[in-house]
Structure 1
Amino acid sequence: MTCGVITDGPLKILKPNTAIAVIEGAPQMVEKRRNEWTGGEKKKENVDNVAKDILYKTLDKNIFSKIKMCPTAKEIWEKLIQICERNKQREENKLPVAIQKFENLKMKAGETLSEFDERFSSLVNELAAPGKEYGNREVALKLMKALPRE
């Protein structure tokens, strides 16, 4: 039931509209007033709060600050989808830049081998994050080509 609240929105407690005469088909439904709710209906209405609580507990502070103003679990979920899609797109945009850096990598004049190794490893890790991985042979060849002849 919690999952439905996240994807479909808060549950509405309905009752048949007795003010309108129905000739054919099912009666028209209207929202029940809170003072008419049964115990089971009160529990159903609280499911959105339970879903919001579950979502809140799984988020870090940075993401929580972006969704805390959303009034329903459904709106929180939709905002999280937007955030994740933007992050994925950002990562995909970084890949061509990282590949170009890797292809043009050379050891700088005055740079120690330790500094170069740290920069090289960082770049290889940056490439692996969005899914571009080079084999050991390719990495070793690039490393050798990036070092100065001396």
Structure 2
Amino acid sequence: MRVLREGRHVPMKDHPEFPNMRMSCPESEWTAHDNELIAPDVGLQLILVDSMDDDMSHQIMVYESAKHIWETIKLLMEETEDVKQNRLDILTSQYEAFKSFPGESITQIFERLNKLLNELSIHGKNYP
């Protein structure tokens, strides 16, 4: 997506004192076309913030562009090989010790197991 690669559209205007120079426009001077070009960034920001848990949302919602939010998410989610292996070991142990809890419905059991299997798959371990 262009917004994540190039960043947010910045409306520009000619500089009043320097003829061959451009400067950013204040929001009060944005045109309808500028608003159309900015809309994908705003929409993507909302999607990114809404898709994160509360802790992550609070860390990223202060940024002004979807690109900056995305870069921050990538940085925060980056793991070393040791961390990845440790996470895989924990998930494997959880899978091997998986059992239902008292009062848990079949749907709840399935949802927990499905989530666990998805996380294992993300980390490269698949169970048939």
TM-score of the aligned structures, taking structure 2 as reference length:
0.56
1:49 aligns with 2:42: yes
CA distance in 2 between partners of 1:34 and 1:119 (Å)? 52
CA distance in 2 between partners of 1:52 and 1:120 (Å)? 35
Cα pair 1:49 1:73 within 8 Å, conserved:
yes
Offset of residue 14 of structure 1: 0.8
Larger Rg: 1
Segments of structure 2 that go 5 or more residues without pairing to the other structure are: 98-115
Where does 1:65-84 land on structure 2 (aligned, <5 Å)? 65-84=58-77
Identical-pair percentage: 21
Match of 2:96 among 93, 111, 121: 121
Offset of residue 90 of structure 1: 1.4
Match of 1:35 among 22, 28, 37: 28
Q: Structure 1: which 4+ aligned runs deviate by more than 6 Å?
A: none
Offset of residue 15 of structure 1: 1.9
Offset of residue 89 of structure 1: 5.2
Segments of structure 1 that go 5 or more residues without pairing to the other structure are: 22-26, 99-117, 134-150
Alignment CA distance shift 1:38-1:68 (3 Å): closer
Where does 1:1-150 land on structure 2 (aligned, <5 Å)? 3-21=1-19, 27-86=20-79, 90-93=83-86, 98=89, 121-122=96-97, 129=120, 130-131=123-124
Alignment CA distance shift 1:121-1:92 (3 Å): closer
Offset of residue 80 of structure 1: 1.1
Alignment CA distance shift 1:9-1:19 (3 Å): same
Cα pair 1:10 1:74 within 8 Å, conserved:
yes
- What secondary structure sits across from 1:50 in the alignment? helix
Q: What is the letter of the counterpart of residue 74 of structure 2? A: I
Aligned residues: 105
Offset of residue 87 of structure 1: 7.4
CA distance in 1 between partners of 2:94 and 2:125 (Å)? 17
Deviations 1:12-31 (A, max 9, x none): 1012335324xxxxx32211
